[in-house]
Structure 1
Amino acid sequence: MYWLLAAAIGALAGAFGSSLLPSTLVEGLQYGFNRRLPHKIPDVSTLVRLRLLGKLSDEVYFELMKEWGFDSPRALQILDAAQNYLTAAEVVRAYYREKGPGKPSEADIKAIAQELINRGFSEEDAEKFALIAHPYPSPSDIITWAVREVFDPHVVERWGLMQGYSEAAPQLEKWGRAVGWTPEILRYYWAAHWQWPSPTQAAEFVHRTNVKWWNGPKFSPEDYDMILRLADYVPGTIPLFRSTLYRPFTRVDVRRMHKLGVLEPEDLKDAYKELGYDDWHAEKLAEFTIKYNADEEPSEERVLTRSLIERAYDLGLLNRSEAKQALQEIGYSEEKAEFVVSVIDMDKTMDQADDLTRVYMNQFRYDIIDEGTLRAKLQGLGLSDDMVEHYVHVAKELRERQEKIPSKSDIKNLYKYGYISRQEAKNALLRMGFSAYWAEKLLQ
């Protein structure tokens, strides 16, 4: 073997020449022997790395390791120790990924694993690492999928949650594969990405689709409950929202229904409480209604005539003095005629106050006015301190659970930079309480 001869000559030259010849000459002779008869081999760590990378066969690796004094079993142990292995955390993640859904295809796992084996991973750990390196949805995404019913085939089918996916699938799956997403996961993201109606819109659906002249699909109270679940409302409060789904009787309705015997006296307090009055105010209104309707039993014709007079005055077809005169002509005293007209006036005032109250509460709800301004405006309507406190409390509750929309400046910027259309910006400003005129001005 030439390399043994070269090594021997080199050693003799080194030992013999080091004492007789200059060191530079000895080094030159050594380099010359090395060049003509190469005999050195890589160190152990390099040999192990070359074998892991597949640059050496088993036969050559074991043969060269013998030159370093390692027999085949020890050389194999060194090779096993040098391979890349998963950490404890990665082993746990791999265990759960192997048990769960959303895994990449076997072909992808094996292709990635082979690349890892070529870089020093053990065969078993290479496949596991390929599995845990594959991207998975976050826990919050999975919860969102569950809340939005994407795992329920009936909901997906009924509401068309996969509509449009087949057209978008080629590009979605092409780009999804580039980041490691499987078609299964992409379908779940697609089904969950839709914007569901707000609870307010859902309530309108219930009102408008359950009438005989509506020919489209029905939207049931159970569907309304589902919308509340999708909006992440606390499940225990969802049945309570049913109480706000339908409108109660108005004050005028209550008084007239009691007059005609449709509502019993014991129903009056609850009817007024449904409108938002506390116990004391509801009791007083019930007492007032009973006394107001306790007029002497009039004839059917007189009841009809009085009702028409009240309606005409309410609509402005008669002025105040004309209404009083008409009531006196059908047998009411001047005092009672004045009382009837005054009640209608009070009803108008209270209805106007109700309308303005709703406007002011919406202005507060959408941050157009602050709490102090809201209080001042409510007091300006002549409401008692108790009622002012009641409406302020309700306005705060509504603002707590309102469907969030951007501020005025945010809306203008979103429109300015093209993120929303002009109509979308205008609709948002209208929801905040601006008139159509000022909404247009703000967008100019």
Structure 2
Amino acid sequence: DRDSAADYWAAHWELPSVGMGFQMFHRLDDFTEADLRALLTRLDILPRYHDQLISIAYNTYTRVDARRMYAAGVLTANEVYQSYLNQGYDAEKARKLADFAVADAGASDRELTKADILNGYRDGLLSLAEARDMLVGIRYSEEAAIYLLARIDAQRAQKLVDAEVRVIRDLYLNGDLTETEAQTELTVLGLQARQIELLIQEWTIDRDGKVKRPSRATLERLYKTGAITQTEFTTTLDAIGYQDKYIDWYVLNISLERQV
């Protein structure tokens, strides 16, 4: 008959698995608990297990969640203990973890500050994993902890680049690198073309402005031999930074030497 034919046809259908049923229950608003129970029935799951299966369809608190929620006063100590049991820990481990959460929350005045942890990582006293775990321990999210530490890595890398740029600048100003060589070295460091162009322009101005002047001893010899006048002697001393009274002393000393 018609009903028998329909049942025979339905027997050939392939049903979603239990796992797929839980996925639909989590993701689809129109797939209700009643739909999940109906699927379990069609999969020949013994009805006495339906409630238990549905109860484990929901995620538990994570270990860090439970600790933070206790510190915030959202969970009691017993609820923290039950949370660890729900996560699969045996009674002994769950109790110890719960005791730790309680002790940790009570020791907030002894906790390291964010600055302490970041400085420890910056100075190389803490590894990336250690610093991340410690930041999470003072109630930063893992994403925030990773971001804070990544900033330090970026600053450290930039500091090294800046030091390399200063070395290239000195070599260029001293004539040990040509403009092309300096550009190549800056490119290797990862600088953009516009940055390199501006640096070379600035350095070229500095290099061209570096006028080498003779030392005071050389100037004195030139003045004594008559190669330069007294005005040239005093003007050049002033240009290289000597005060007027010292210049007068040097002129007087040379005059006295000439009289001897």
TM-score range, shorter chain: 0.3 to 0.5
Higher RCO (CA 8 Å, separation ≥ 6 residues): 2
Query: TM-score scaled by structure 1?
Result: 0.27
